[in-house]
Structure 1
Amino acid sequence: MPVNVFSRQPDRKSFLIYAVLLFVIEVLIARYAPSGFIRGFVGDVLVVLLLFCMARSVVPVMNSKGHLINRLCHTPWLALAVLLFAFTIEFGQYWGLVDKLGLGGNRLARIVIGSHFDPLDLLAFFVGYLILIGIYWKRH
């Protein structure tokens, strides 16, 4: 069965494709975009979309009989869970989570978890959440 990436009811494979594309965009932004709006804000908006797509590609929303499962996996709830996760990581940066975990010398941990709290990141995450909710409501 072919993957229908642009269907109104995308499947897990479609979300995996979205996640890979968003990851590539994030890497390109991190690698080539100068500091400023694209790197500092758009990248953070996209990270919420990326996390959502990663979660949807791993967690099934319907069982083999086509019935909806686990309410948390429904788009609005999963989007909210991703937003709260992003907020948690950002506040972890405020409290020095990387250093408290003993990963301060690990470059990858400092990149993935981050080490500098920025309240503007919270706004960017919320914008990403609003995009997810907007797509959901437009679809339904």
Structure 2
Amino acid sequence: MILQFNKKYFIIAVVLFAIEVLIAIYFKYGFIRHTLGDYLVVMLLYCFIKSFVKAAPIIVAIPVLIFSYVIELLQLINILETLNLNNNHLLKLILGSTFHISDLVAYTLGIISVLIIEYSITKFSPKKTNNI
């Protein structure tokens, strides 16, 4: 794992963030807000980390998935209420406030999609040679 800025991943992360903001503003409920948003958020986190860290896709994907699961499980124990932060609308938006098993499925499918895309790109990209 090497610290190295990657402009492509950063641009993708910014675009995904913009999409997430638009979803938060324009979709208050329904499939797009509750499922597509969760599906995309793991992609956003993955691309953001890959913007600064050069590592194999699986090395980044697994911690992102675990982090997402932990956040969802904190919703199960109602962490915002426990910490008396349930009136903080920004934290509610970022961390969520209700546990849903379907969110775990969306996170998992999002990471699987990222890995399929990453390994497909790697498989079909031309290999660099050191021939002079």
TM-score normalised to the size of structure 2? 0.83
- Number of residue equivalences: 118
The farther-off stretch of 78-87 and 93-102 is 93-102
Write the distance in 1 (CA, Å) between the matches of 2:8 and 2:112: 21
Runs of 5+ consecutive residues of structure 2 not aligned to the other structure: 124-132
TM-superposition CA deviations, 1:56-77 (whole Å, max 9, x none): 1122x1xxxxxxxxxxx32112
In 2, Cα distance between equivalents of 1:38 and 1:107? 20
Shift of residue 35 of structure 1? 1.9
Q: Secondary structure of 1:135's match?
A: helix
1:137 correspondence with 2:131: no
1:17-57 CA-to-partner distances (Å, cap 9, x unmatched) read: 11110011111111113521111111110000000011111
Question: What code does the residue aligned with 1:79 have?
Answer: A
Helix, strand or coil at the partner of 1:111: helix
Q: 1:20 aligns with which of 7, 14, 24?
A: 14
- C-alpha RMSD of matched pairs (Å): 1.4
What is the aligned partner in structure 2 of residue 86 from structure 1? 68
Q: Which residue number in structure 2 is paired with residue 58 of structure 1?
A: 52
Q: 1:109 matched to which residue of 2?
A: 91
> Does residue 48 in structure 1 map to residue 42 in structure 2?
yes
Equivalent-residue separation in structure 2 for 1:36 and 1:107 (angstroms): 19
What's the counterpart of residue 38 of structure 1?
32
After superposition, the C-alpha distances for 1:77-135 in whole angstroms (9 at most, x for unaligned) are: 21111011000000000011122333222111111111100111000001101101101
SS in 2 for 1:84: helix
SS in 1 for 2:58: helix
- Deviating beyond 3 angstroms after TM superposition, the runs of 4 or more aligned structure 1 residues are none
Corresponding position of 2:23: 29
SS in 2 for 1:28: helix
- Secondary structure of the residue that 1:103 maps to in structure 2? coil
Which amino acid in the other structure matches residue 38 of structure 2?
D
What TM-score, normalized to structure 1? 0.78
In 2: Cα distance, 1:28 partner to 1:39 partner? 10
Cα 1:34/1:95, change in 2 over 3 Å: closer
